Structure 1
Amino acid sequence: MTLGESDLDLGLTHGWRSDNVGRLLLAGFSFFEGRLMGRLEQSGFSMVRHVHFNVLRHLDPDGTRIVDLAARAQITKGSMGKIVKECEQLGLVQLRVDPQDGRAKVVSFAAKGIELMQAIRNAMTEVQAEMTCITGEEDMRAMQRALRALHGHAACDERARPAQVRVRG
């Protein structure tokens, strides 16, 4: 199928498809994540993949059940179980039986996982500083305020995020 005159009238050839808030947020996230992953690789954590952040960003310091990690990451329990297994094989997390429910497993950080979290924190600080150099301090603060407002709204209004949406990460 080729574009006809009416398709062009709809603006399909114009920049609105790439210059909108959603695409710009995604581009900003991709920039941040790419720089972060590069710094982690330089810090000796080249084995970490994007999918591992589904565990790392949701894991409580004293441990979290797999089912709770899955709910927080908005993925299935089975998918979370596979990611946790990968993280365990990499030495990032350890599993223990849940003392309240012997059928459930609690995931907690292993020593290497704690080292990784420290590397992530350092890398995030560096990447945010790099972004501030690009945008300027005033724009960076404004962007953070706007993103916090959106995050707070989404947390207060679960209808803002359809149930079938899966958060990348």
Structure 2
Amino acid sequence: MTERTEGGGRGDAPDAPGYELPLLLFAGFRSLIDQLHIELARQGHPDVRPVHGFAMQAIGRDGATAVTLGRRLGVSKQAAGKTVDRLEALGYAVRTDDPTDARRKLIRLTPHGFDALARSAAIFDRLRDEWSETLGRDRVQAMESDLRAVTPPQAFRLDAAGWLGG
């Protein structure tokens, strides 16, 4: 087994077992998300959780019905409804009448929800810059390019919570 360096990282480890790759990718994801939420809490959004971020992205600028939201998140309409209930209680989303179909409700983000997304984007930019300072800008750009080469074109999906839970 390859010896770990300080901080839990490895140097060049060509003999690393295959199962480490998804775990390292997930650990990097988790590290970024955890740092994001620490900073969001400092900036006035202490109750936002990762699932809320996915849901707000899935609601988007134009809003979404519960059925559409569930499909985008990879969860049932009922599960999406529970997430929306929480987003409403926290002031991030509101249910409104759908102007195209009086039988449906449209979920829309509130100014508070849009603020959380805008702050998230700025924080992610800062975190990417921190990774670039640590690893080198060229290496981060190469890593992103390499990941794009091995992931499908529709890699930016919002159904991770449903996929992990189902």
Give the TM-score normalised by the residue count of structure 2: 0.78
**Which deviates more, 62-71 or 96-105?**
96-105
Q: Which has the larger radius of gyration?
A: 1
| Deviation at residue 117 of structure 1 after TM alignment | 1.5
Number of the residue aligned with 1:16: 17
Where structure 2 has 5 or more consecutive residues not aligned to the other structure, the ranges are 1-14, 156-161
Q: Where do 1:50-61 residues align within 5 Å?
A: 50-61=50-61
| Deviation at residue 133 of structure 1 after TM alignment | 1.5
| Deviation at residue 65 of structure 1 after TM alignment | 1.4
Q: Where do 1:26-65 residues align within 5 Å?
A: 26-65=26-65
Q: How many Å separate the matches in 2 of 1:139 and 1:86?
A: 39
- Contact map agreement 2:67 2:77 (CA 8 A) in 1: yes
User: Could you give the per-residue CA deviations for residues 105-145 of structure 1, whole angstroms, max 9, x where no partner exists?
Assistant: 21111111121112111111111111112221111001111
Amino acid at match of 2:17: W
Q: How many Å separate the matches in 1 of 2:150 and 2:57?
A: 19
**Which deviates more, 95-104 or 124-133?**
95-104
- Specify the SS of the correspondent of 1:57: helix
Q: What is the number of residues matched between the two proteins?
A: 145
Number of the residue aligned with 2:69: 69
Where structure 1 has 5 or more consecutive residues not aligned to the other structure, the ranges are 1-13, 157-164
User: Could you give the per-residue CA deviations for residues 43-81 of structure 1, whole angstroms, max 9, x where no partner exists?
Assistant: 111111122123112122121112111111111111111
Establish whether residue 166 from structure 1 lines up as the match of residue 160 from structure 2.
no
Amino acid at match of 1:16: P
| Deviation at residue 155 of structure 1 after TM alignment | 2.7
